[in-house]
Amino acid sequence: MPETAGGAQVVVAGSGAVVAPTTELHVDGLRVAVEGKPILDGVDLRVPVGEVHVLMGPNGSGKSTLAYSLMGHPKYKVTGGSASFDGQDLLALTPDRRAQLGLFLSFQNPIAIPGVTTVNFLRAALRAQGKELPAREFIARLGEEMGSLRMDASFRGRYINDGFSGGEKKRAEILQLAMLEPRLAILDEPDSGLDVDALRIVAEGVLRVMEKSEGRMGVLLITHYYRILENLTPDRVHIMHQGKIVDSGGPELAHVIEREGYDPYITATSPTGPEVSRR
């Protein structure tokens, strides 16, 4: 695993709390509001490097808000709690510094960038992170990764996401993941809108990047559905509802959700609902 931040202690900005450096995403009591409306209500989460953690939950539970907040999107205002990675306070860093630290966010609906080709976008991204490769090595590696994702060579010259189908956009996101080799990949619904074949290719792409990292990358995968987990087995599954992590368990928890849905959690948080036992 990568070394932590020099063994030094880190003080979380604004709280005075001391966080011990560790190679994991470490979220404590995170509260986030959007345009003054509270969305996250005290999220606690640990995602060690080398593990795949899945975050599931019904629509509107706060999953994507957590992803954007961790990457520093200015629309999402942190009102309490802390978040660190490798012992460094994420909330004190700009989005580009978070990316340089090793965080990566795959967007649910990635935007098109007309005028910027896929090849130039990836070269610029690698350069920004101090990972620029010699031209021949870059092209060879890009060709290898595109081939494994069954992407035609013409994609190199196409403007990033411009005119891409839903499946092409998802593959382009996984291509970025493979080329950038982050230490923590946050994947926001990489399975949305995909058919069975495309879903398998995306899942296999994530697994391949994990294997190549040799335990140096963690994954937080956000999804509504079980089907992507037929191709990608997580270490832990977390359930989010009403802005909180309300349950955590092993892969079997995803099977429970597939069988029972989220109704038990929705009922449990209603004023008269029974408490859901942790699995």
List domains and CATH numbers for the chain: 35-102+182-192+218-224+243-264 (3.40.50.300), 112-181 (no CATH)
What are the average pLDDT values for consecutive 10-residue runs of the chain, which has 279 residues?
A: 41 45 85 97 97 95 97 97 96 96 93 95 93 94 95 94 92 95 95 88 93 94 90 94 96 93 79 43
Residue-level length of the chain: 279
| Amino acid 270: pLDDT | 54
Taking Cα atoms as reference points, which of 35, 55, 44, 37 lies closest to residue 81?
A: 44
* 8-state DSSP, 158: S
Cα–Cα distance measured from residue 40 to residue 75, given in angstroms and rounded to the nearest whole number: 13
81 φ, ψ to 5°? Answer: 85, -170
Kindly state the tokens that stand for 208.
Answer: 């391949």
Sign of CA dihedral 16, 20, 25, 27: negative
DSSP β-bridge partners for residue 37 = 34
184 φ, ψ to 5°? Answer: -140, 115
| Amino acid 12: pLDDT | 44
| Amino acid 3: pLDDT | 39
| Amino acid 269: pLDDT | 63
| Amino acid 271: pLDDT | 47
* 8-state DSSP, 117: B
Cα–Cα distance measured from residue 235 to residue 217, given in angstroms and rounded to the nearest whole number: 13
Judge contact between 215 and 1, C-beta under 8 A. yes
Sheet holding 52-56, edge to edge: 103-106, 184-188, 218-223, 52-56, 236-241, 244-249
Pinpoint the alpha helices (H) of the chain.
63-71, 95-101, 118-128, 135-148, 166-180, 196-213, 252-260, 263-268
- DSSP line for 200-228: HHHHHHHHHHHHHHTT--EEEEEES-SGG
| Amino acid 213: pLDDT | 92
pTM of the model: 0.86
Judge contact between 221 and 102, C-beta under 8 A. no
